[in-house]
Structure 1
Amino acid sequence: MVAEIRPNYPTEWAAMKSVAAKLGVCAIEAASTWVRTSQGDAGFSANITIDGEFPPEAVTLADLVDESVEQLRRAGESVVATDRREIGSEDAPALTQRVTFSAIASDARRDLVQSQVYLALLDMADPHKSAVIRLTLTATAAQYDEVLKDFQDFVRTVRPDTGTEA
């Protein structure tokens, strides 16, 4: 989207600000990450996937992270999970991990790296329930170091909408 409107703006930054405003993205860093990751590496564009779920009470973040690795093992080869860390707080726990694997993407076998972040957020209406937000950066090994900081900056902007303005 930024590439399409870039000629209408004096700088890429100005084009990113315009797209961010149109999409309702408060963090311009998120738009910046999209632009940088969309530029691709020999046919593969690094990308960010965001999804979430309300897991059953008995399911822990570690269980969800383990299941993610198992899903990658079913789809890819040479799956290795490293650097698993607990982050966050008691009220808002989180887990991160790095996963390397080989898979077919864009019609070619690629060595890929994922940075996965699992954020647990309490349900404001029912504190016995929590939602888990999963943010995943997927990049080729060559792209990973270049886009990781932007991804981390983006993750820091993710917080629940409490319905009150800050």
Structure 2
Amino acid sequence: MAPDTVSLPLGFDVPEGWTPLAPAEAGAPGVVFVAVHREPGADFTPNITLGVRQRPDAAPMAEIAEEAVERLGRTMALLDVISRHEIGDATAPGVTQVLRMRTGEGQDLVQTQVHLSVPGPDGPVDRVVLELVFTAEPEAAQQLTPDFRQFVASVRLRRKNPAGEGEPS
């Protein structure tokens, strides 16, 4: 894991038709979860990733989302933010954004990002940020966006019960 990535006891449901892969094998080091939706003959394999990062500052979620755009923009030939919306509340704010991208090879992709804040015990300067990302070609994105929404809605923190086993919180 990268130095700023952390581990959280997360639970989530993998949508039907999606196959989990080890992040390193999928070429996605620094994330804690990767799933792909294999489609025969497709030029690009749709994927969902989940990253967990410690965020030791009080940066607004919109700024964190913009940082993600800037990181991605360094690797793309074209990158446009189609939409960005704040979600959540003051205790656990978040941002969703949809990006249109073109790779250096000329492949058009759509990426939906959801950035969620998990408050820490010391408030905003001790928080963890979840980054849930769905990437696909435009046509596949239209078909598979409901799966990504289902995945996002299923993400939850787990707590340990007295027997030490994880359970949904």
Q: Which amino acid aligns with 2:108?
A: D
Distance of aligned partners of 1:162 and 1:70 in 2 relative to their CA distance in 1, 3 Å threshold: same
Structure 2 unaligned segments of length 5 or more: list them: 1-10, 20-35, 162-166
Classify 1:89/1:43 alpha carbon distance in 2 versus 1 (closer, same or farther; 3 Å): same
Question: Which amino acid in structure 1 is aligned with residue 132 of structure 2?
Answer: L
Instruction: Tell me the residue number matched to 1:69.
Output: 69
| Larger Rg over CA atoms | 1
Corresponding letter in the other structure for 1:121 = V
Say if 1:121 and 1:160, in contact at 8 Å, map to a contact too.
no
Mapping of residues 75-94 of structure 1, within 5 Å? 75-94=75-94
Report the Cα offset of residue 75 of structure 1: 0.7
TM-score by length of structure 1 reads 0.73
Using the TM superposition, give the Cα deviation of residue 67 of structure 1 relative to its aligned residue in structure 2, in angstroms: 1.1
Identity of aligned residues (%): 30
Q: What letter is aligned with 2:152?
A: V
Contact 1:113 1:139 in 2 (8 A): yes
2:111 corresponds to 1:127: no
Cα distance, 1:41 vs structure 2? 5.5
SS of residue paired to 1:54: strand
The answer to which structure has the higher strand fraction is 2
Q: Which residue of 1 aligns with 2:43?
A: 43
Structure 1 unaligned segments of length 5 or more: list them: 1-24
Q: Secondary structure at the match of 1:132?
A: strand
Give the TM-score of the pair, scaled to structure 2.
0.72
Distance 1:162 1:60 in 2: 27
Q: Secondary structure at the match of 1:43?
A: coil
Q: Using the alignment, how far apart are the partners of 2:102 and 2:44 within structure 1?
A: 13
Write the distance in 1 (CA, Å) between the matches of 2:15 and 2:43. 21
- Aligned partner of 1:32: which letter? E
Cα contact 2:12–2:151 (8 A) shared by 1: no
Give 3-state SS (helix, strand or coil) of 1:161's partner.
Answer: strand
Give the conservation status (yes or no) of the 8 Å contact 1:49–1:136. yes
- SS in structure 2 of the partner of residue 142 of structure 1: helix
Q: Give the structure with the larger helix fraction.
A: 1
Q: Which residue of 1 aligns with 2:18?
A: 34
Report the equivalent of 1:160: 157
Question: Which residue number in structure 1 is paired with residue 4 of structure 2?
Answer: none
Does the residue aligned with 2:156 lie in a helix, a strand or coil?
A: coil
Determine if contact 1:121/1:132 at 8 Å carries over to the other structure. yes
Cα deviation for residue 82 of structure 1 reads 1.9
Q: Corresponding residue for 1:95?
A: 95
Counterpart contact for 1:44–1:140, Cα < 8 Å: yes
Deviation, structure 1 residue 77: 1.9
